Amino acid sequence: MKCRRCGERAVVNMRQHKLGLCREHFLEWFVSRTERFVDKYGMFDGDDRILVAVSGGKDSLALWDVLLRLGHDAVGLYINLGINGHRYSEESKARVERFAAEREDVPLQVVDVGETYGRSVPELASERPGRKVCSLCGLVKRHIMNRVACEDQFAAVATGHNLDDEAAVLFQNLLRWQTGYLRRQAPVLPSTHPRLARKVKPFFRFYERDTAAYALLRNIDYVYDECPYAEGATTILYKELLNQLETRSRGAKQQFYLSFLQARQEGLFAQGSEELELGECEKCGQPTTAPGLCAFCRLWEKS
Amino acid sequence: MKCRRCGERAVVNMRQHKLGLCREHFLEWFVSRTERFVDKYGMFDGDDRILVAVSGGKDSLALWDVLLRLGHDAVGLYINLGINGHRYSEESKARVERFAAEREDVPLQVVDVGETYGRSVPELASERPGRKVCSLCGLVKRHIMNRVACEDQFAAVATGHNLDDEAAVLFQNLLRWQTGYLRRQAPVLPSTHPRLARKVKPFFRFYERDTAAYALLRNIDYVYDECPYAEGATTILYKELLNQLETRSRGAKQQFYLSFLQARQEGLFAQGSEELELGECEKCGQPTTAPGLCAFCRLWEKS
């Protein structure tokens, strides 16, 4: 297959777009496409300060890289969860720090959960054997991203979620018809409260294999391993099932997610009664629907 | 595994219900559960005349069998589509006629598409190479079922769709977010026009393996082969994917479909603009949203 732009040998073949490109033109295409989607979905403006949540994986480092190349004021946020299995947190932190150092020390903020709050995520999880680690970890990360973004007045928090991630979550939400989640799942979540940061997913239209190709072709050194707690996670199964569909019918994943966004935009869903009034947590002040303490602050109360 | 009712060896193990039963108790359970769902979902009353669409396959013959055992006035309708591949129509018709004959000649109506309308389904399809045979065949069957039910004043048309069928169709509708279909997919479709029959699916809560077990244990002689045109149909792929989910998480298929029904009942979907005024076809008089001829009557116009 040849590059559609220059006729050289294509190194990336995006079957869902019927498009093959050489290294150079793929990297160009990938960056300009990100820019187009940032504009199209009104994610942020050129002079906005963006907080990029970086885990050390391919998607988030690729996102930081693209935003920097586009000239955005993109500050990294690494959250050290304290996960020791496979030296996961150590390895991922090293990758993130190296990424920043290699780029003339672009600004990086590091929040260490154990140091800041007294217990790491695995320590917290061990106190709550009934609760899934991934759900607890998600809560911790969302709280910290939001806190840093609000305290330092970032225009938005950007995360590296790609189309495979979003399609898998949509599938998961549909398997139990979790209507609250279905109504809210979106590439842009506006701020609906002064202490709730805007959230954006600039890569939500890229297939995972294309974000991986970008990271590889840009020689970004990222953590290959999944978090050890993610092993056997159902989202991995959902991704596999959607990939089987994709193999059979090219573009199926994309169509599944984009037609969902379109159906919702065209008014498929009725107004939800779930849209609750947001109060403020008595301890941290972050918005919460719970009375008293928010779910994050309740984590740290000794039970 | 032992039968939960009598302690004998279980021959059917329904993992989604954590229930094993011996032959006798399974057959009893299956029949009474059908009755319960007919009542619960308000499908029809005890003295209603029901038209059962029978294809010769396990689900529809099992349904006819159960309704007869429950004492319903259930008349069979066999539509001869004229599909010669694997002698499909011949074989299935023979099974249906034998089923009726073995039960003291319970009433069976046969409509032969070729004889009645001049062309069989494969002949029709050969005139329309751009159109999928299964979609065309579905249109023909729906028209004929509705016509017979209305002309002979049946209270409802019952079809043998099981939970695997319904979940696969739901999945298909979600992959493209076909909002009109999503709003309408239901185990009971009420009559919204004097010439539109009520449609019910009494088996919609049974897994396919359980309707197959019923047919086998009742020694119902049914057509094993799929229709030759269904080979490679996407619904077969969707069923496989949902079965992979089920293997991983018991009851997943059931939860997917039932939580959909619940979410809709709880008002997830906004009122659709698709709910169009129904007119009447100029030729056959059946309700249609199209002006002039309905989609069925247009099939027979020479193009």
Closest to B31 in 3D by CA, of B250, B252, B251, B210: B210
Contact check, Cβ <8 Å, A175/B248:
no
Model confidence at B277, in pLDDT bands (50, 70, 90)? confident
Residues of A with CB under 8 A from a CB of B: 174-177, 179, 182, 234, 237, 241, 244-245, 248-249, 252, 255-256, 259-260, 262-263, 266-271
B167 alpha-carbon distance from chain centroid:
13
**What is the pLDDT averaged over residues B142-149?**
98
Looking at per-residue confidence, does B200 or B85 come out higher?
A: B200
Q: What's the pLDDT tens digit per position in B2-26?
A: 999 999 999 999 999 999 999 999 9
**What is the complex's ipTM, to 2 decimals?**
0.91
For residue B21, what are the contacts with CB-CB under 8 A and spacing of at least 6? Answer: B3, B4, B5, B10, B11, B12, B14, B29
- Helices A163-175 and A234-248 cross at an angle (nearest 10°) of 110
* Partner-chain residue, chosen from A255, A260, A268, that has the shortest CB–CB distance to B269: A268
Looking at per-residue confidence, does A39 or B303 come out higher?
A: A39
Tokens found for residue A202: 């600039």
Our CA-based measurement puts residue B140 at a distance from the nearest CA of chain A, in whole angstroms, of 27
Residues of A in contact with B176 (CB under 8 A): 255-256, 259
**Which residue do the tokens 């498929």 mark?**
A268
Our CA-based measurement puts residue B242 at a distance from the nearest CA of chain A, in whole angstroms, of 9
The tens place of each residue's pLDDT in chain A, 303 residues long, gives 899 999 999 999 999 999 999 999 999 999 999 999 999 999 999 999 999 999 999 999 999 999 999 999 999 999 999 999 889 999 999 999 999 999 988 999 999 999 999 999 999 999 999 899 999 999 999 999 999 999 999 999 999 999 999 999 999 999 999 999 999 999 999 999 999 999 999 999 999 999 999 999 999 999 998 899 987 788 899 999 999 999 999 999 999 999 999 999 999 999 876 566 789 999 999 999 889 999 999 999 875
Q: Is this structure's pTM higher than 0.80?
A: yes
List the single best residue of B177, B242, B244, B264 to mutate versus A (max A Cβ within 10 A): B177
Closest to A49 in 3D by CA, of A145, A121, A154: A154
Residues of A in contact with B271 (CB under 8 A): 270
Asked if residue B273 has pLDDT above 70, the reply is no
* Partner-chain residue, chosen from B176, B237, B270, that has the shortest CB–CB distance to A259: B176
**What is the pLDDT averaged over residues B233-240?**
91
Whole-number Cα distances in Å, A115 to A80, A81, A112, A119, A303: 9, 10, 5, 7, 21
Our CA-based measurement puts residue A275 at a distance from the nearest CA of chain B, in whole angstroms, of 13
Our CA-based measurement puts residue B232 at a distance from the nearest CA of chain A, in whole angstroms, of 10
